[in-house]
Amino acid sequence: MTERIASYHDNFELRGIPNQRLLNMYQKWAHGGFGIVLTGNIATHPTNLEFAGNAIICKENANDGLKKWFTEMAKIIKAEGSLAIAQLTNAGRQTPEAVERHPFSASDVQLTKPEAGRRGRPVPLTIEQIKTEVIDRYTFAAEFLYQCGFDGVQIHGAHGYLFSQFLSPTTNKRTDQYGDLPKKILSGKVNSAIRVAFPEDDFRTTVLASNSNMFAMGENRLDENYGVCSDLFDFSDPKEAERFLVGVKEYAVKFKENDKNLIPNIGVYEHQRSKESKFLSSL
């Protein structure tokens, strides 16, 4: 989701700051009695935005004022008993050209679809930048939100954003270790880095994957999917590995049927593990 009502300023220190309009919106949702309130895009980089007006948490704008806004947001969401979960994003090559002419991405494949509008020409991240501009920034934002009272974060790996760009062979033309499917899903490394930073019971982390990415996974061998889902499944258990493979193949068949019949692939897909749901992906 995107709200696009936070501040937008040439000075990074003043960019992506929430305001009362944003708080009022989340207050209304909290009054709805939802068990979880998930925020819209909160960018982890000051220039790789989904759109101008995204809220941003980064080392360039983090100060007591920003902390006050996000602390109040968490307080408002949790006042009615909801969990406050923040969605962390990096748009990568989908960053509008007006925001950043040369955003970071997996490779230099530009998004040129007319319906997408003018998007920047991407620059491939170096190995060092993957650490400093992606992993470290996501961890920084998660730590900031933890201090503000949020209950967890969702790492956005769907809708063509940065992590999807590493997952897709259309946009990942790398020849280094991040070009191999088992190692190119950065969300796994980000997720691990965030988990190390917090007590597991105090702060929750989830990863959002897109339906098209899940479909692509169904076309690969099971061992090629290991790096994508190793944080979710124990593939050392043959029964669990087989359940996962069957589930993904079933999803791929359903996806093809819906696509052929022009039915949107929207809904919830569950994978059962030991009589309880361990994989719940909103698509």
Name, in order, each residue with C-beta under 8 angstroms of 201's C-beta and a sequence gap of 6 or more.
none
Using DSSP, state whether 119 is helix, strand or coil.
strand
Taking only the tens place, the pLDDT of each residue in 31-68 is 988 889 999 999 999 999 999 999 999 999 999 999 99
Q: CB–CB of 55/41 below 8 Å?
A: yes
- Give mean pLDDT, residues 174-190: 69
Interval 196-225 mean pLDDT:
61
Q: Rg of the chain over CA atoms, in angstroms?
A: 19
Domain that holds residue 142: 12-209
User: Which carries the bigger pLDDT value, residue 172 or residue 20?
Assistant: 20
Domain total of the chain: 2
| Residue 182: predicted pLDDT | 45
Q: What's residue 249's pLDDT?
A: 74
Q: Judging by DSSP bridges, how do beta strands 204-209 and 152-157 pair with one another?
A: parallel
Cβ atoms within 10 Å, residue 199: 8
Region of poorest pLDDT, from 51-60, 65-74, 148-157, 166-175: 166-175
pLDDT band at residue 248 under the 50/70/90 scheme: low
Structure letter (DSSP) for residue 78: H
User: Is the same domain home to 277 and 140?
Assistant: no
Are residues 225 and 195 located together in one domain of the fold?
no
Average pLDDT over residues 16-44: 93
Residue 7 lies in a domain: no
Specify the higher pLDDT residue, 269 or 195.
Answer: 195
Task: Verify that 61 and 178 share a domain, yes or no.
Answer: yes
Q: Which strand (E) or helix (H) includes residue 177? A: none
Phi-psi region of 149 (alpha: psi -120 to 50; beta: other; left: phi over 0): left
Let me know whether 26 and 38 are in one domain. Answer: yes
**pLDDT score, position 180:** 65
DSSP code at position 82:
-
Q: What region does 134 belong to: left with phi over 0, alpha with psi -120 to 50, or beta?
A: alpha
Q: Please give the average per-residue pLDDT across 113-120, as a whole number.
A: 85
Q: Domain boundary residue among 183, 209, 235? A: 209
- The mean of the pLDDT values for the chain is 80
Average pLDDT over residues 178-183: 63
126 or 156: which leads in pLDDT: 126
pLDDT tens, 76-98? 999 989 999 999 999 999 999 99
Q: Which helix (H) or strand (E) holds 61?
A: none
pTM value?
A: 0.76
Most confident range, picked from 30-44, 215-229, 236-250, 254-268: 30-44
Q: Convert the pLDDT of each residue in 253-276 to its tens digit.
A: 776 777 777 765 544 333 333 333
- 184 shares its domain with 264: no
Check pLDDT > 80 for residue 20: yes
Cβ-proximal residues to 151 (8 Å cutoff; 6+ apart), any chain? 74, 78, 83, 84, 85, 203, 204
One domain for residues 219 and 205? no
Same domain, 69 and 184: yes
Chosen domain end from 170, 193, 209: 209
Examine the fold and report which residue of 209, 234, 259 is the final residue of a domain before the chain moves on.
209
What pLDDT is attached to residue 87? 96
